[in-house]
Structure 1
């Protein structure tokens, strides 16, 4: 398993990140622990979670459950220093602190809660799950209209969060901070304020990215390279679509689609033909489709770390097999042709 420098954060992480959001819903604690064991055995030491997890669906009674499962794994296995753990504060509009935006106070409270559940003294990467002002992610791009948030208000919020982050870093509770579901303007503003005021800089961004969702490929790609801000790519398999398991409209029992039929707006009239085209590329080149999709993320000209998740150990083993896989020029050319023919299927 290759390791990578995580931008300017000072962290070194595995080239694949273990996603954990099914632990506590689709996966039991024992299954989560088994996945954690398998990941460590294969050298995946970078793990991603969030205070609102597990998902599918998010429920008030399960909020924090995934972090708690990681915490019991750490308590039983030890070796916290082996891992780089990333988690997130939710923000307004969710079951966690409903209606409350991210502030310095809510950030500190959220960090303390995550530390308790994770049974650790520090968080390696602490991320803002959603911008207070909203975003165009999760299919919101189709109706996106910037709200014209007052710049002074937004600046004051950002300075408050960065100042709190500075204190949390000084206390040893957080090592680095990052963004999620953010825009280029937002990321640029965060970095400008950090540089101007001598505050901690946002080091990463976690946005959706896959063969089927490539919003990152233009302005964000340029920004990522210029500012050395790696992409933590969530849903690199497009919620399992790119595995082919939903081909023909099949919905296997226990899969994400059995809990969320529209896969968060990903099930459109154009998506299955796009999936079929990707599966055809993999078949022509003798590649496992999941491994091809994950390796594609790693092939990009901007630093990308795919977040791989699974509901079974067998699925996780397949996904981990993408480590070190380098796609040849012919494969990448076929992927490019497919993307031109089937752009933005959802």
Structure 2
């Protein structure tokens, strides 16, 4: 599977990344370990997690469980060096972690030590801030986003403060590289600028939602990624399962994400189902599996570092792996763009 170097780091990740947010709720530890084994065998070397996982739902009883499940895999397997492991520091408002404290130089060492302890490893390859202290327009907040209440000086001071703390962790050997998540074009530019001015690890990646149904990154964020050498890590590339087609016609399969989260985090709209119909028809017309088409399209975007997918069973995992060697021809890309123009931003 194709490998991509993240930003200006020496970390190379596979085109596809195994997501883990269902491990500990929808998946048992044994199922998670089977997924990791199969992913590594398929040359997927990248696994993404977070201290707050699993989700659906997030609660005090399960927070950190996903990292512990990965730690159990490391405990029984000797292939730590074969895996690029990414995790995340929860942001302000996550009451189950540090009483919802914002990210700061004070919270970083504690958060890293907690993740290392649960993961049973002595280093994290990619350490990410899950969302900005100042807030984000992600997760459907774009419809009412208003940055006028932000304090620029406080934001820059926060960046300087946390980059200093992160640099200490780099020197200590607990993290190899730094990434962001749910971040804007302006935020990415400022992080890169502050890192160059005051030192500290320069961001190598940004993990934002990106799919055929959610293409907010196509303009300003993609331009920033290219020019600042910050690679996109796309999450929800199947739009929380919508692009598989399994929810068409009002279907809600047992154990599916929609059975646990009825509105799919604001993604369930009439326009979304119309858009999915268009992409399902397009895949059928070109003889493509719609899941593999959606993942391959993300893979081929020029600002992409890796595409994060999740699976709750091995059949889903195998289907996703098949996208690793699928290259969509130009005529399919053009047809996808036409469908996007007809069904823009359905949620």
**Fold conserved between structures, TM > 0.5:** yes
- Aligned residue for 1:218? 219
Q: Hey, what's the Cα distance between the residues in 2 that align with 1:99 and 1:309?
A: 27
Matches within 5 A, 1:145-294: 145-294=146-295
Alignment of 1:138 with 2:139, yes or no, is yes
Q: Hey, what's the Cα distance between the residues in 1 that align with 2:100 and 2:18?
A: 30
Secondary structure, counterpart of 1:50 in structure 2: coil
Measured after TM superposition, the shift of residue 304 of structure 1 is 3.8
- Aligned residue for 1:22? 22
Aligned residues: 346
- Aligned residue for 2:343? 342
Secondary structure, counterpart of 1:125 in structure 2: strand
CA contact (8 A) 1:87 1:125 kept: yes
Matches within 5 A, 1:52-67: 52-67=52-67
Q: Hey, what's the Cα distance between the residues in 1 that align with 2:336 and 2:154?
A: 43
CA contact (8 A) 2:13 2:84 kept: yes
CA contact (8 A) 1:297 1:304 kept: no
Q: Hey, what's the Cα distance between the residues in 2 that align with 1:142 and 1:47?
A: 31
CA contact (8 A) 2:7 2:203 kept: no
Measured after TM superposition, the shift of residue 99 of structure 1 is 2.8
Measured after TM superposition, the shift of residue 214 of structure 1 is 0.1
Measured after TM superposition, the shift of residue 300 of structure 1 is 1.2
Q: Hey, what's the Cα distance between the residues in 1 that align with 2:112 and 2:148?
A: 29
Measured after TM superposition, the shift of residue 147 of structure 1 is 3.7
Q: Structure 2: any 5+ residue segments left out of the alignment?
A: none
- Aligned residue for 1:39? 39
Secondary structure, counterpart of 1:251 in structure 2: coil
Q: Hey, what's the Cα distance between the residues in 2 that align with 1:183 and 1:257?
A: 28
Q: Structure 1: any 5+ residue segments left out of the alignment?
A: none
Matches within 5 A, 1:56-95: 56-94=56-94, 95=96
Q: Hey, what's the Cα distance between the residues in 1 that align with 2:157 and 2:273?
A: 44
Q: Hey, what's the Cα distance between the residues in 2 that align with 1:319 and 1:96?
A: 32
CA contact (8 A) 1:23 1:66 kept: yes
Secondary structure, counterpart of 1:239 in structure 2: helix
Q: Hey, what's the Cα distance between the residues in 2 that align with 1:97 and 1:315?
A: 35
- Aligned residue for 2:10? 10
CA contact (8 A) 2:92 2:101 kept: yes
CA RMSD, 1 decimal: 0.9
